[in-house]
Amino acid sequence: MPEMKELTPSQRTLLGPGPSNVHPRVYRALSTPIVGHLDPEFLVLMNEIQEQLRQLLQTRNKLTIAISGTGSAGMEAALTNVVEPVDNIIVGVNGVFGNRISDIVVRCGANPIQIKEQWGKSIDLQKIEDALKQAGKVKAVALVHAETSTGVWQPLAEAGALCEKYGALLIVDAVTSLGGVPVKVDEWKIDICYSGTQKCLSCPPGLAPITFSERALAVARERTTRIRSWYLDLTMIADYWSDSSRAYHHTAPISMNYALREALRLVHEEGLEARWQRHRRNSLELLRGLAALNLHPFVDKEIRLPMLNAITLPEGIEDATVRKTLLTEYGIEIGGGLGDLAGRIWRIGLMGESSTRANVVYLLAALKDIL
Ligand SMILES: *Cc1c(COP(=O)(O)O)cnc(C)c1O
């Protein structure tokens, strides 16, 4: 085998749909020595992460933890624990991630009732209520808070009360929204909410914060069929995260938990309000600059996400060539469109550490050069 050199990845300015850039303090945390997953020091760290996550998710839910795995593991944990064969699950589908939720619902043997909306529009709560009325018993409603494939911000404040009225659980995908815009689990009556580390939390990918209300946990415990996933069975994982038991389930990814602890410390040092405002400010700045280049947002103003800016590509712009030049000449990553939107939009992420004025100015200058 030819000699392999030490790994030296390039410094990128990550302005795509995730991952985002990582703060030096988080890299330092990753390089600190590992301890055992039952070491008293690690158990303290787990408690600290739980408390930091509760503040971030604005919840008092006891079961608030970090699942081992990326955002999709969070999605799968949220669904597999409560969904049983033949259950009706209403799923808002207006992009890639609503489709992924439906796919998992099908794999659970259940029946997804899709509320479809054009990509680039939000899901109308009235349509969800109509479906709740028609479908008979509905176990849960699943909605994507920040649809990363389109840049749509799903209004959620009233969704929880609606689900409660019909006895359904509300499951929310906050993978991209958490840390960039408010996610108020208790106030909005969300039963299950999951996220990921590499979007607005600016940690490497590898953990999925998740929270379960008492009601959701009771549904998971009282189900009549066994949870099909052993690895993501929260009734067992909860024991490992619980002070009273600490029963071994699987070896926690120690270093990733160190990284998450530090990333959450950075979030709380900045303050949630200040962090949301920063995401808003830099998005507005980006859109102003892009308008001067005759590039305009794909999504209507009221439902436009600040951390994922979808931009309509005008005729005549070579999508792939521009993105390749950005990466090779400027070290900047932005995202292209997915599915039907391939070649029609760019997805410019301003997530977590990546959401800075300097990055906005740099990207605008690079685009001006290239175009
Ligand atoms: C990124 C993302 C996911 C999946 O997360 P992975 O970390 O890629 O597994 C799920 N939902 C949304 C809305 C996302 O943006």
Question: Is 20 a pocket residue for ligand 1 (Cβ < 6 Å)?
Answer: no
Residue 193 Cβ inside 6 Å of ligand 1? The answer reads: no
Alpha carbon of 16 to ligand 1 centroid (Å):
13
Mean pLDDT, to the nearest integer, of 350-366? 98
Residue 7 forms part of a structural domain: no
Tell me if 173 CB under 6 Å of ligand 1. Answer: yes
Q: Which of the listed residues 246, 268, 290 is the one where a domain comes to its end?
A: 268
Asked whether residue 80 falls in the same domain as residue 154, the answer is yes
> Ligand 1 pocket: which of 70, 76, 99, 156 to mutate (most atoms <8 Å of CB)?
70
Alpha-helical runs (H) found in 234-314: 234-241, 254-270, 272-292
Neighbours of 244 (CB within 10 A): 6
Whether 8 maps to a domain, the answer reads no
Same domain for 296 and 230: no
Ligand 1 close to Cβ of residue 194 (< 6 A) = no
- Band of residue 2 on the pLDDT scale cut at 50, 70, 90: confident
- Would you say the CB of residue 71 lies under 6 angstroms from ligand 1? yes
> Same domain for 243 and 290?
no
CB 181 within 8 A of CB 351: no
How far is 357 from 359, CA to CA, in rounded Å? 5
Distance CA 39, CA 45 (A): 10
DSSP 8-state code for residue 178: B
Please give the distance, rounded to the nearest whole angstrom, from the Cα atom of residue 293 to the centre of ligand 1. Answer: 30
Model pLDDT, residue 137? 96
Say yes or no to pLDDT of 132 above 80: yes
Say yes or no to pLDDT of 1 above 80.
no
pLDDT of residue 291: 98
Counting ligand 1 atoms within 8 A of each CB, the residue from 148, 198, 307, 338 with the most, and so the one to mutate, is 148
Task: Give the residue numbers spanning the domain of 359.
Answer: 13-19+272-370
Q: Which two tokens stand for residue 38?
A: 């039952």
Q: Are residues 141 and 222 in the same domain?
A: yes
**Are 254 and 300 part of one and the same domain?**
no
Choosing from 14, 76, 97, 172 the residue with most ligand 1 atoms within 8 A of its CB, the one to mutate for a pocket test is: 97
Which conformational region is residue 178 in: left (phi greater than 0), alpha (psi within -120 to 50 degrees), or beta?
Answer: beta
Report residue 225's pLDDT band, with 50, 70 and 90 as the boundaries: very high
174 shares its domain with 299: no
Radius of gyration for the chain, computed over Cα atoms and rounded to the nearest angstrom = 21
Atom nearest to 146 CA in ligand 1: 13
Section 118-137 average pLDDT: 97
For residue 307, report the distance from its CA to the centre of ligand 1, in Å: 14
Q: 339: domain CATH number? A: 3.90.1150.10
Number of domains in the chain: 2
- C-alpha to C-alpha distance for 117 and 128, rounded to whole angstroms: 11
CA of 200 to the centre of ligand 1 (A): 12
Q: 263 and 284 share a domain?
A: no
If one residue of 68, 72, 99 were mutated to test the ligand 1 pocket, choosing by the most ligand atoms within 8 A of its CB, it would be 72
- Ligand 1 centroid from CA 136, angstroms: 31
pLDDT in tens, 60-114: 999 999 999 999 999 999 999 999 999 999 999 999 999 999 999 999 999 999 9
Residue that is last in its domain, among 252, 268, 284: 268
| Residue 2 domain-assigned (yes or no) | no
Residue 290 Cα distances to 128, 186, 296, 297, 366, angstroms: 35, 37, 7, 9, 12
Domain boundary among the residues 216, 235, 268 is at 268
